[in-house]
Copies of this chain bind each other. A is one copy, B any other.
Amino acid sequence: MRHPDYTLTAGPTTGWPRVQAALGSPIIYDYDPVFLERFRALEGKVARLFRTGADVVLMQGEAVLGLEAAARGLVRAGDTAINLVSGVYGKWFGLWLRDLGANLVEVEVPYDRAIDPADVERALVANPGARVVSVVHSETPSGTVNPLHEIGPLAKRHGALVIADVVSSLAGEDLRTDEWGLDLCVAGPQKCLAGPPGISLVTVSEEAWAAIRANPEAPRGSFLSLLDWKERWIEGGRTAFPYTPSVSDVNGVDAACDEVLETGLDAYVAMHRRAARATRAGVRAMGLDLWPASEDIAASCVTAVTAPDGVRVLEVQADVRERYGVMLSPGFGDLKERLFRLGHMGPNARSLTPLVALAALGQGLADHGAAVSVGDGVEAALEVLSQPDDAFMPQRA
């Protein structure tokens, strides 16, 4: 089959042109002074995206590596861990916690809803010694966001460490690591950054380091070890890697960070918000239903659309790919055949590309007999896309 013309998925997503150029640049030795300097500087750039003064660890595998490393590093048998579940990834994180022998307390809501901070507070009160609260900021599988700005401070007030999966929210949603008291965050570059997958972007607070060091079961001498990075790389003066970094991915992520920082982080987030709002407006105007229970919990990275009754999601998706060259995502996990997901990340959040996703979905459904008003959808989306940038800027607290 031909290469796709558009990759409007839940990620990996289309990279920025400069990301492609950086990926295609010469491969150099990881101890070359140029690479060492780039790697160190990249940590600083990533810290700026997270708005943190904490350590950044660039683990050399896709974000699931960072998440597993976080769980195994921070949590040990007998710990009480409050896991907030509003989607597939939240549920999966609990599996690691249970596997580690934690006393797992789950606050769970249907996957079209967001966690209510009041429920979190109740759980914290009911479990006064809870060591960890884990939460997914942006649930890519269902296109929803949780109120991390409330959950973080709340958990901290109760003395818990906060592990935040921000894989798909970094640079797409407002995110304030230090201000919100997030101890261990993990993001992926193949989402809103529009870089390559293959790297976990991790931040670790001093409190989190102390907890990991105190954990005799925390991985050491392992690909899963955060401590190796702390002890060999950071404390060793950033001269020795625990293992060979993925040179090309590092180059690509570096270019993606430059794109965000040159655009300005707030403006970059605003771009994603606008694209998401336009897509939602389009979806509704086409006569389709959004999956999230309300628009204010809808994610900036992907828009999840409930498949109309009788529609076979995977068939429609495959036909859209073949006939129109547009790659969309179906649902994921339990929701696989119930949702379509329209990605609008990085370059796909710019310009009029959200219209392509809407038209592809709309026409794909129409080709399968569904009644869809593509024209109305495009007009509704355009109305949003034509509004000025500052309408979408994050509000500072």
Contacts and interface: CB of A to CB of B under 8 A. Distances in A.
A246 B66 CA distance: 14
A168 to B, nearest CB: 12
Given A347-B5, A382-B374, A359 B363 contact: no
Interface in A1-57: 1-7, 9, 11-15, 17, 19-21, 23-34, 37
Contact of A29 (B29, B327, B375): B327
Q: Which of A30, A223, A318, A321 has the most CB of B within 10 A?
A: A223
A196 B21 contact: no
Interface string A293-334: 000000000000000000000000010010111110100000
Interface in A194-237: 196-198, 221-224
A180 interface: no
21 contacts: A1-B33, A1-B34, A3-B34, A5-B347, A6-B351, A9-B29, A12-B27, A13-B27, A15-B26, A23-B248, A32-B327, A61-B61, A196-B247, A198-B198, A224-B224, A323-B386, A326-B352, A352-B363, A355-B359, A366-B386, A375-B379
A247 B20 contact: no
Contact of A7 (B3, B26, B246, B386): B26
Please give the count of copies of this chain that the complex contains.
Answer: 4
B12 A244 contact: yes
Contacts of A28: 3-4, 7, 12, 327
Given A11-B29, A196-B249, 14 more contacts: A3-B34, A7-B26, A7-B28, A9-B31, A14-B26, A21-B24, A65-B243, A99-B221, A198-B247, A323-B386, A324-B385, A325-B351, A355-B378, A378-B378
A99 to B, nearest CB: 7
B329 A352 contact: no
A383 B116 CA distance: 45
Contacts of A324: 351-352, 385
Interface residues of A, number: 88
The 10 closest A-B pairs by CB, nearest first: A24-B24, A375-B375, A198-B246, A5-B351, A325-B351, A375-B379, A61-B61, A196-B248, A9-B29, A15-B27
A14 B366 CA distance: 30
Contact of A249 (B68, B221, B249, B359): B249
A61 B326 CA distance: 29
Interface in A101-157: none
Contacts of A30: 12, 197
A252 B363 CA distance: 34
B17 A25 contact: yes
A258 interface: no
A81 B19 CA distance: 45
Contacts of A2: 34
A86 interface: no
A45 to B, nearest CB: 19
Nearest to A378: B378
Instruction: Name the residue in A9, A224, A247, A366 with the highest tally of chain B Cβ atoms < 10 Å from its Cβ.
Output: A247
Contact of A246 (B24, B249, B379): B249
A287 interface: no
Contacts of A392: none
A77 to B, nearest CB: 15
Contacts of A243: 62, 64-65
A29 B5 contact: no
